[in-house]
Chain A
Amino acid sequence: MKIAYLIPIAFFGLLIASFAIGLGRDAGRIDTQLLEKPLPEFSLTALDDEQRLITQDALKGDVHLVNIFGSWCAACTYEHPVLSAIADSGEVDIIGIDWRDNRDAAKRWLTRYGNPYADIVFDPDSELAFDLGVTGAPETFIVDKNGVVRYKHTGIITADDWRTKLRPIVMELKTAP
């Protein structure tokens, strides 16, 4: 048998392999364009005080988790205990972005479930959410000491995700100069 006959078979194999890889991917997942880029500039009010503005500078100087949530978001309620445990450990501050929400509803939600956030940015019109390329809630970014986005987690953070994926990155960034 000529070796040339093997070429189409090899080609076919390659095609099947690439389909197999493609099918395994979650089509709903959109990789962030922000990786290794500074957090977009923003100037929005704090959830607890309509007069107080929060900007990107609030995140400089330490590693932060930036978590998109909303009182309307059922998955966020599910994620909440994990965020509370992270906040209780004192290992990293979490900045919340209250997305497409209503102030009173958000405050009620936090009173009911507890508030794990060091500070909360109120973003009712998706201003910051757009700049972050958010597609849904919850989503969480790890932002380093210089305000640069280093990781994005789409969806709920489980205790397992925190232990195996996010915490190691946070800890490494914490020790970085």
Chain B
Amino acid sequence: MIRSFIIILILLFIPFAFAQTPVSGVQLAEEQEQLARDIGRDLRCVVCQAQTIEDSDADFAIDMRRKVREMIAEGKSRAEIEQYMQARYGDYILMNPRMSSGNALLWFGPFLILALLLVWFVSSRRKAIKP
């Protein structure tokens, strides 16, 4: 008796494994839905910070997911959608920040320091060997 009850209980919970936060409004084809999720995983939820809009249940993330799907339905490309979001929320919204003149130092700074140290090291070695 108890065993069958437990089994029924387990069976009842199976559908939750397939649960997804509903995105109201836009219905997309399988392929487009996949694209929407990919884009969503590259956009930061601005009210939760450490989550993407695809992972978050915040109302704001739900709105943003809908916006992404609307833009896909309009035939916008991934680059266009990301550009749209970036123009409004800045680099911050992208989980993978793009390189720009403003952050070039962050990208190349370490290599620059490494090169300078190497030059310094080699030149000081030479001085040490000469005499």
The answer on a CB contact under 8 Å between A135 and B88 is no
Query: Which chain B residues border A172 with CB–CB below 8 Å?
Result: none
Q: Hey, which chain A residues are within 8 Å of B63, CB to CB?
A: 100, 125-126, 130
User: In the complex, what residues of A have CB within 8 A of residue B46's CB?
Assistant: 30, 135
Task: Say which size band chain A's interface belongs to.
Answer: 10 to 19
0/1 interface trace, chain B 40-53, chain A, CB 8 Å (1 if under): 00000011010000
Whether A135 contacts B87 by the Cβ 8 Å rule is no
Name the prevailing secondary structure of the A interface residues: loop
Closest to B46 in A: A135
Q: Mark A74-109, 1 if CB is under 8 A from B, else 0.
A: 000000000000000000000000001000000000
* Interface SS of chain B: helix
Contact (Cβ within 8 A) B90 A135:
no
Give the complex CA separation of A131 and B67 in angstroms.
11
List A contacts of B49 (CB < 8 A).
27-28
Whether, in the assembled complex, A133 has its beta carbon less than 8 Å from a beta carbon of chain B, the answer is yes
Give CA–CA (A28, B89) in the complex, Å.
12
Chain B residues with CB under 8 A of A130: 63-64, 67, 88
Contact at B90–A33, with CB atoms within 8 Å? Answer: yes
- Nearest B-chain residue to A33, judged by Cβ: B90
For the complex formed, measure the closest distance between the CB of A31 and the CB atoms of chain B, giving whole angstroms: 7
B120 to chain A, nearest CB (A): 8
B59 at the binding interface (Cβ < 8 Å):
yes
Expressed in whole angstroms, the minimum distance between the Cβ of B60 and any Cβ of chain A is 7
**What CA separation (Å) do A33 and B94 show in the bound complex?**
14
Identify the B interface with A (CB < 8 A): 46-47, 49, 59-60, 63-64, 66-67, 87-90, 92
